Amino acid sequence: MQQQYKRLILLPQKDKSVLRKHPWIFSGALQKTSIQLEEGEIVEVFSSKSEFLCVGFWQDASIAVKVLSFEKEKIDYKFILERVQQAVSYRKSLGFFNNPNSNIFRLINAEGDFMPSLIADYYNGLVVLQFHSVGMLKLKNEIVEALKESLGEDCKAIFSKSSSTLPKHVADCDGFLYGELNPEWYAMENGLSFKIDYSQGQKTGFFIDQRVNRELVKTLSNQRNVLNAFSYTGGFSLAAIQGGANKVLSLDISKRAVELCEENVRKNFADNTTHQALAVDVLEYLDNVKKGEFDLIILDPPAFAKHNRNLNQALKGYRQINQKAMEKIAKGGFLFTFSCSQAVSREDFGTMLFSCAAITNRRIRIVQRLPHAMDHPQSIFHPEGEYLKGFLLQVE
Ligand code: SAH
């Protein structure tokens, strides 16, 4: 095949991770070049022995190339359509499209669907796209067409929500790329209706990676007093109410999140009197919680470490909240605790929990290591894709 794209060459001995199909190439692995490249431009990467390795897009960052294919192929509409169709048929085969009780799921999970830097979340016919690199953004039109073609009637509209995930110099406004919907958009998760704030909310509007963990909260909530810390729009709180909790307290620092949480509770449980939501800082509030007041606590904070360099600071934050929760939780209580920082490994997180448990001096057991759901597959060659780490602990 003819040369399609500009070539980048790796330094000697730097091809191991690409040969193992890791989808990122770091700038330090590349030979210096005088070739002028545009941000996001498609490039071919070769070994120092001139062997073809992969096609990807280039970026002026420490991850210099994100790999789209390990085959020598053209990155065109046909290529994108194939990838999108694969992502859609995987979810179809798991029954995600035919479940009126749960019509919120991840449609494209970046590297986990072999489309680095692209997230597509599905909300009852609305697809919200989040581009994390200019290279993927350049393929926007192909992606939109491919989604329309693959989803047909299942796609009512496509919205891009990428202003916070793209570099500032890329002026890409958030907005509809196809169709248009009412700003009041609702979708279902585990039989509960949620308002999806797709234009102003966090991420793509909802934290859809916790669906299976919310189901588990539901099964353990009966007759319990539940504290949902970092509650956002109340995903876990509604699951706890649904599961028959005695009382549920939702805490979030964002007033808007608290309002949405209350709205979601009202919409699903009109007569509910057991739920309360407060706009407070969890780190401060936990000091006021009485020991034994709650026997099910959920800690699902934002990513404390956005980069490796913040790892220590992040672990300190996780330690602070987990230690307090372990101290305060009632005897026999369940603690759901999560980290969504990519830089914090499951091992780091487990070690931090171990040291909190040791300091607290209570008998603590690991009941389950909590997973991502099946709509968030991760490439086996890309361990960094496992960003959400969770543990269900029981405290005596
Ligand atoms: N558990 C939620 C997602 C949590 S996202 C769900 O299931 O949908 C993290 C949330 O933490 C955000 O809503 C953010 O507003 C909130 N937050 C960040 N720092 C906080 C703090 N110090 N105290 C309370 N809430 C905080």
- Digit-coded pLDDT (tens) for 89-99: 999 999 999 89
Closest ligand 1 atom to residue 281 Cα is 23
- Sorted by sequence, the CB contacts under 8 Å of residue 294 that are 6+ apart come out as 224, 225, 226, 227, 249, 328, 329, 330, 333
Minimal-distance CA residue to ligand 1 atom 11: 230
Residue 223 token pair: 């007759």
- Please tell me the predicted confidence (pLDDT) of residue 310: 81
From the list 146, 141, 145, 74, the residue with the least C-alpha distance to 113 is 146
Give the integer Cα–Cα distance in Å for 313 and 118: 28
For residue 270, what pLDDT is reported?
95
- Is residue 298 over pLDDT 90? yes
- The pLDDT mean for the chain works out to 95
228 half-sphere exposure, CB direction, 13 A CA radius:
31
Mean pLDDT for the stretch of residues 152-172? 89
pLDDT number for residue 371: 83
Q: How far is the CA of 49 from the centre of ligand 1 (A)?
A: 49
* % of the chain exceeding 90 in pLDDT: 90
Angle at 31 between CA 30 and CA 37, to 5 degrees: 75
pLDDT at position 230 is 98
Best residue among 216, 226, 230 to mutate for probing ligand 1's pocket (most ligand atoms within 8 Å of CB) is 230
| Model confidence at 171: pLDDT above 70 | no
- Pocket test of ligand 1: the residue of 195, 202, 232, 263 to mutate, having most ligand atoms within 8 Å of its CB, is 232
Q: pTM of this prediction? A: 0.95
**Residue 251's beta-bridge partner residues?**
229, 278
Task: Tell me the two tokens of residue 374.
Answer: 């099946």
pLDDT digits (tens, 9 = 90+) for 177-211: 999 998 899 999 999 999 999 999 999 999 999 99
Distance 201 CA to ligand 1 centre (A): 12
DSSP, collapsed to helix, strand or coil, labels residue 234 as coil
- Which whole number is the average pLDDT over 353-371? 95
Residue 149: pLDDT band with limits 50, 70, 90 = very high
Tell me the mean pLDDT in the region 256-262: 97
Burial class (CB in 10 A: 0-12, 13-18, 19+), 347: exposed
- Give the pLDDT confidence score for residue 1 in this predicted structure: 55
C-alpha 394 to ligand 1 mean position (Å): 23
Residue 338 beta carbon below 6 angstroms from any ligand 1 atom: no
Q: Please, where are the H alpha helices in 97-234?
A: 134-137, 140-151, 211-220
Q: What is the pLDDT of residues 26-36, one digit of tens each?
A: 999 999 999 99
The DSSP code sequence of 315-377 is HHHHHHHHHHHHHHSPTTEEEEEEE--TTS-HHHHHHHHHHHHHHHTS-EEEEEEEPPPTTS-
In this prediction, residue 290 carries a pLDDT of: 97
How many CB atoms sit inside 10 A of residue 288's CB? 9
Q: Say yes or no: CB of residue 210 within 6 Å of ligand 1.
A: yes
* Arithmetic mean of pLDDT, 245-271: 97
Tell me the two tokens of residue 134.
Answer: 């200019």
Give residue 84's pLDDT. 98
Q: What is the CA radius of gyration of the chain?
A: 22
**pLDDT of the residue at 2:** 61
Report all structural domains of the chain as residue ranges with CATH numbers, in order of start. Answer: 6-69 (2.30.130.10), 77-190 (3.30.750.80), 207-395 (3.40.50.150)
Q: Which of 326, 316, 390, 393 is nearest to 357 (CA)?
A: 326
- How far is the C-alpha of 311 from the C-alpha of 315, rounded, in Å? 6
- Cα(328)–Cα(297) distance, integer angstroms: 10
Q: Residue with the nearest Cα to atom 10 of ligand 1?
A: 230
* C-alpha of residue 302 to centroid of ligand 1, in Å: 6
* Nearest atom in ligand 1 to 300's CA: 1
Alpha carbon of 349 to ligand 1 centroid (Å): 18
Contact by Cβ (8 Å): 179, 103: no
